[in-house]
Each structure stands twice: as structure tokens, then as C-alpha cells.
């Protein structure tokens, strides 16, 4: 059980800290109102009779209509200012004989459990009530309303049983009973004999709810016969538990989130792909340009290397260039490049010409000597 209230029982100078628990709870087969055609649940919404709009709990206040038709609106703030002297205390007013409390006044029953540090004063109050056969009349505030109640003993537990206020008990006004009804002694004796034949000690466990049992049997028979249907799902509405509270379907919410995220992604992918293709063309062109530049650089380096080799072969390495040689050399290279002959071939041709000239000079010198 779960405690619904905490406070203390105060009698005289003694305080007994206690917790309050509901002692009773009605049970019945949970049946819901449904649409006969499709099985949909019947829902009730709080709507305003003036504007017709649905009203949330936060916008609902309490109203009192006066005899002359005026409306007094009371908010939660107004009600919170009302004094409740017994808000956290069960104040014992007096002790009365048990038979003086009319059972018609008895309302809801609660169990009182003592705190660990208050077991002895709790037991003292319990034994005093049982020994004197009296009830303690108390005042207590439950759910922002002050109530009259009694403390009585049931087994080893002190029970708090709320009472109706005297003006809450209606008077029995039946004019038909005001007449003088004559009962003969024989009829009274026969009725008394019947009462004695049915006399017994009261045992509530010997009784059962036959209607509820028959209803459960009917439901089980329909289930066994397959006379059932799936619970219809309402779009945009969450499931509800046995108490009617809405239950959030986490899996369905996550699935909708994933679908929503995927729904917005294709456009971004397409845009990214088009940008990727456009940017991919630029690197390809730059790569081609770089390869061309490297090829030109290699060709230039090769040409410079061939020129250096030619100078070393002809012995002109380090010689000063002739007048206009810079331009001539440049123009010669340009002409050679224009003719399409490699620099290495030109160097070999010049070397062959030089060798041929040396051989002719040697032959002429030999003839003169002979």
C-alpha cells in the first residue's frame, strides 16, 4: 500500500506521528463504453458551454452561482489561502461511547500506521480505546477539506473513519409511514420465528458478487469461442493503461523520427552529389595541367643537359659567348626546335664534322713531308 497522507494524532500533550492508508477499495470488471459499429472508445472532452472550445485542466477554475444569478469564480490561489488548522494533524476533540455513533454517519475508512519512533504511544492509545470501549472523535483535513472522523480499533490497528456532517444526512420523509398500522401478535410471532431460523454470526467471506462472477464467465466464454476483435488504433492518440493514463509508445515515436529524418535527406544528398561532380572536374583539369607543366619542365631540363654535354664535347664549356651569342644561341635553339631535330643529334653532327676536318689536315701535312 502507498501512504496518502502523513501527520500526527494529537491528544492532550501526546503526539503520535502516523501515516494514512486507504483501508478499502472497490473492485469490478473494467468495462468501457465503445462504439458498437467499430469498437472505438467513447471519449469525453471538457468543453466550454459559451465558446464551445476544449478546455485544459490548467484553465479550469471553480465557480459559485449566487441566488440572484451572479457567478463567483474561485481559483486555486484563492482556495490555497483558506486556513486549515488541522492540515497535518488529527486533533482529538473528545471520546464517546461506540453505540452513540450512528452508522449512517460513517463514510470512508483509513488505516493509521505509526512511525518507528512512535510505536509505544500508538499502542497506548489503541489499548485505551479498546479498554474503555469508546471512540475518539477527531477533526482532520484531507484533500483540502476539513472532515469529522472517529478513531476506533480493528484487530491491532487504529482506524480513522470519516463521518458525514449532520446536515449531509437527509431526513426520511415518507408520509405513508405516518399512519397507524396494526400488527397482530400472531404475525409478530411468526416473523420472529423466521428471524430466529435465519440467525447466524456475520461472516462477510461467505458472500460473493454473483453478478460479477456471471459477467466474468460470459467474457471468458466469448474469448474461448473466438468472438473477439482487435482494439482499433486511433491515429495521433497514444495507448492508455488500466487507469486511463496515456502511455507513450516510445518505439513508434522513434520510428516516426527516423522516417522524418530520412525524408529530408535525399535533397541534401542530391545537392552534395552535384557539387561533388562539379568539383571533381576541376581537380581533373588541374591534374592535367600539372602533368603538362611537369612534362615541359622535364623537356627543358633535358635540353639544358644536352647543351651542357655539347659544350663539354667541343671544349667550349665556360667560354664567353660571341657577340649576340645570347640572342643567337637563343635563336639557334629556337631554329633547332623549329626544325624538330633533337639537341643531342646536333651535337653529334658537329663532333663528326670536327673529326673529319682534323683528318684532312693530317693527310695534307703528310704529303708535304714526303
For helices 343-369 and 266-314, give the axis angle rounded to 10 degrees: 10
Nearest to residue 48, comparing CAs of 67, 63, 66? 63
Q: What does the pLDDT read at residue 269? A: 45
Which alpha helices (H) appear in the chain, and where do they start and end?
A: 76-80, 119-132, 185-197, 210-224, 250-263, 266-314, 325-339, 343-369
Identify the bridge partners of residue 71 per DSSP, sorted by sequence position. 65
Between CA 236 and CA 348 the distance in angstroms is: 94
Cell of 217: 464467465
CA distances from 279 to 266, 267, 272, 282, 314 (A): 20, 18, 10, 5, 53
Cell of 44: 469525453
- Contact indicator for 9, 90 with CB cutoff of 8 Å: yes
| Alpha carbons 9 and 139: distance in angstroms, whole number | 10
Residue 236 pLDDT: 56
| pLDDT at res. 296 | 45
| C-alpha cell at position 182 | 396494526
Q: How many helices (H) and strands (E) does the chain have?
A: 8, 11
pLDDT in tens, the chain (370 residues): 889 899 999 888 888 999 999 998 888 888 889 998 888 888 888 999 999 899 988 899 999 999 999 999 998 888 888 776 556 889 899 999 999 999 999 999 999 999 999 999 999 999 999 999 999 999 998 877 888 999 999 999 999 999 999 999 999 999 988 888 899 999 999 999 999 999 999 998 898 888 898 999 999 999 999 988 888 877 655 555 544 444 455 677 677 778 777 775 544 444 444 444 444 444 444 444 444 444 444 444 444 444 444 444 444 444 444 444 444 444 444 444 444 444 444 444 444 545 555 555 556 655 665 5
Q: Report the predicted TM-score, pTM, of the whole model to 2 decimal places.
A: 0.56
Domains along the chain with CATH numbers: 5-25+79-166 (2.40.290.10)
Phi, psi of 212 (to 5 degrees): -65, -40
Choose among 179, 174, 160, 96: nearest CA to 122.
160
Q: Tell me the C-alpha distance between 35 and 127, whole Å.
A: 57
Q: What are residue 113's DSSP bridge partners?
A: 19
Amino acid at each position: 500500500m502507498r501512504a496518502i497522507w502523513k501527520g500526527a494524532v494529537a491528544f492532550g500533550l501526546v503526539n503520535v506521528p502516523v501515516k494514512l492508508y486507504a483501508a478499502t477499495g472497490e473492485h469490478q470488471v473494467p468495462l468501457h463504453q465503445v462504439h458498437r459499429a467499430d469498437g472505438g472508445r467513447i471519449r469525453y472532452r471538457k468543453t466550454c458551454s459559451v465558446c464551445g472550445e476544449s478546455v485544459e485542466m490548467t484553465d479550469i477554475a471553480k465557480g459559485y452561482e449566487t441566488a440572484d444569478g451572479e457567478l463567483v469564480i474561485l481559483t486555486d490561489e484563492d482556495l490555497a489561502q483558506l486556513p486549515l488548522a488541522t492540515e497535518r494533524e488529527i486533533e482529538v476533540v473528545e471520546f464517546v461511547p461506540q453505540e452513540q455513533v450512528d452508522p449512517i454517519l460513517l463514510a470512508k475508512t483509513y488505516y493509521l500506521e505509526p512511525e518507528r519512533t512512535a510505536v509505544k504511544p500508538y499502542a497506548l492509545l489503541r489499548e485505551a480505546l479498546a479498554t474503555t470501549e469508546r471512540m475518539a472523535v477527531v477533526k482532520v483535513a484531507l484533500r483540502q477539506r476539513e472532515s469529522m472522523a472517529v478513531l476506533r480499533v480493528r484487530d491491532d490497528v487504529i482506524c480513522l473513519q470519516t463521518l458525514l456532517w449532520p446536515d449531509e444526512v437527509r431526513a426520511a420523509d415518507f408520509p405513508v409511514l405516518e399512519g397507524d398500522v396494526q400488527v397482530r401478535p400472531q404475525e409478530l410471532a411468526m416473523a420472529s420465528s423466521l428471524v430466529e431460523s435465519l440467525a447466524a454470526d456475520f461472516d462477510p467471506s461467505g458472500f460473493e458478487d454473483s453478478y460479477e462472477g456471471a459477467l466474468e464467465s460470459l467474457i471468458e466464454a466469448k474469448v474461448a469461442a473466438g468472438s473477439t476483435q482487435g482494439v482499433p488504433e486511433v491515429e495521433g492518440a497514444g495507448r492508455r493503461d488500466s487507469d486511463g493514463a496515456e502511455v507513450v509508445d516510445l518505439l513508434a515515436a522513434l520510428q516516426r523520427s527516423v522516417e522524418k529524418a530520412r525524408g529530408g535527406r535525399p535533397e541534401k544528398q542530391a545537392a552534395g552529389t552535384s557539387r561533388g561532380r562539379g568539383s571533381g572536374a576541376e581537380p581533373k583539369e588541374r591534374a592535367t595541367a600539372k602533368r603538362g607543366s611537369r612534362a615541359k619542365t622535364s623537356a627543358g631540363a633535358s635540353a639544358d643537359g644536352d647543351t651542357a654535354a655539347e659544350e663539354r664535347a667541343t671544349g667550349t664549356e665556360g667560354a664567353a659567348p660571341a657577340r649576340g651569342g645570347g640572342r643567337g644561341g637563343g635563336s639557334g635553339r629556337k631554329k633547332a626546335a623549329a626544325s624538330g631535330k633533337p639537341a643531342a643529334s646536333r651535337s653529334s653532327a658537329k663532333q663528326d664534322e670536327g673529326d673529319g676536318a682534323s683528318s684532312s689536315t693530317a693527310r695534307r701535312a703528310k704529303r708535304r713531308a714526303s
